[in-house]
Copies of this chain bind each other. A is one copy, B any other.
Amino acid sequence: MELWFTEHHTEHVKFSMKVKEQLVNKQSDFQHIAVLDTEEFGRVLTLDGYLMVTEKDEFIYHDMIVHVPMATNLNIKKVLVIGAGDGGTIRELTRYPGIEHIDMVEIDPMVVETCKEYIPQTACSLEDKRVHIYYEDGLKFVRRMRDEYDLIIVDSTDPFGPGEGLFTKEFYGNCYNALNDKGILVNQHESTYYDEYVEAMKRAHQRIKETFAIAKVYQAHIPTYPSGHWLFGFASKHYDPEKDLDVEQWNALGIKTKYYNTKLHLGAFALPNYVKEQLSEYE
């Protein structure tokens, strides 16, 4: 039997992967959840039909969303993670002995349960005793926090569906308040290659720039995301991810990574001209 999962990257572009077996196919209170076992990418999580995580390339996304802020400030002790139900971001964070406390706020418990059962590669560290999981709306959670965190990671879905509120000015303002005076906010920032993503990406960047003293964008090669050219936002009240990168100290930690290294950390902020132009258009 030929079974294929196809995602439309735009109305006119499709990306398809051969499926061995569909392992999960269910509806939560928030979204449709599926897990596919694929030939090329191992197990794959989809939400509302959109590819979220694959076993083959999740290391790229999780390396880049975690190690870039951590190598910029090695004194991070208290972290808030919003979304991230697959657990990959938590797995990378728990590799830092200096982190004392991680709050994870995920709206959909069924995503976490599903990943624990079917994608242990990412969900393997959710039982770490420093991790505190709250099943609630990240927007509401962050609104009641003041001066609390060294780092907030917004590991969200796309800016439509359940993740939509995580791309608003109000949300970024609440994150600002929830961070202490040296706090860092990192978020997944969509892409710029296909027109469908550009506007959301530009709007998000503009709103973050209006809120934080430092707001930069960095990139990674994530083959299973639309265009393969994915962006992350780095915003901070104090730290500059290029100037404050602590090469020696980070390497002294001995954290073995498959994608990230400190040279690549700096290279990731070297954006193509067309991306730089898009990011500056609202300025």
Contact = CB atoms under 8 A, between A and B. Distances in A.
Interface of A: 4, 10-18, 38-40, 57, 60, 193-194, 219, 221, 223, 227-229, 257-261, 263-274, 276
A266 B273 contact: no
A14 B10 contact: no
Given A228-B227, A229-B228, A221 B12 contact: no
Contacts of A266: 267, 270
A39 B12 contact: yes
Nearest to A38: B12
Question: How many identical subunits does the complex contain?
Answer: 2
A40 B221 contact: no
Contacts of A193: 57, 221, 223
Contact of A16 (B14, B57, B264, B276): B14
B229 A258 contact: no
Contacts of A257: 273
Given A38-B12, A194-B40, A221-B229, A261 B267 contact: no
Contacts of A259: 272-274
Contact of A221 (B228, B264, B269): B228
A258 B276 CA distance: 10
Contacts of A223: 193, 227-229
Contacts of A219: 221
9 contacts: A13-B15, A13-B40, A14-B14, A14-B16, A57-B193, A228-B228, A263-B270, A266-B267, A267-B268
Nearest to A227: B223
A54 to B, nearest CB: 11
A12 B12 CA distance: 20
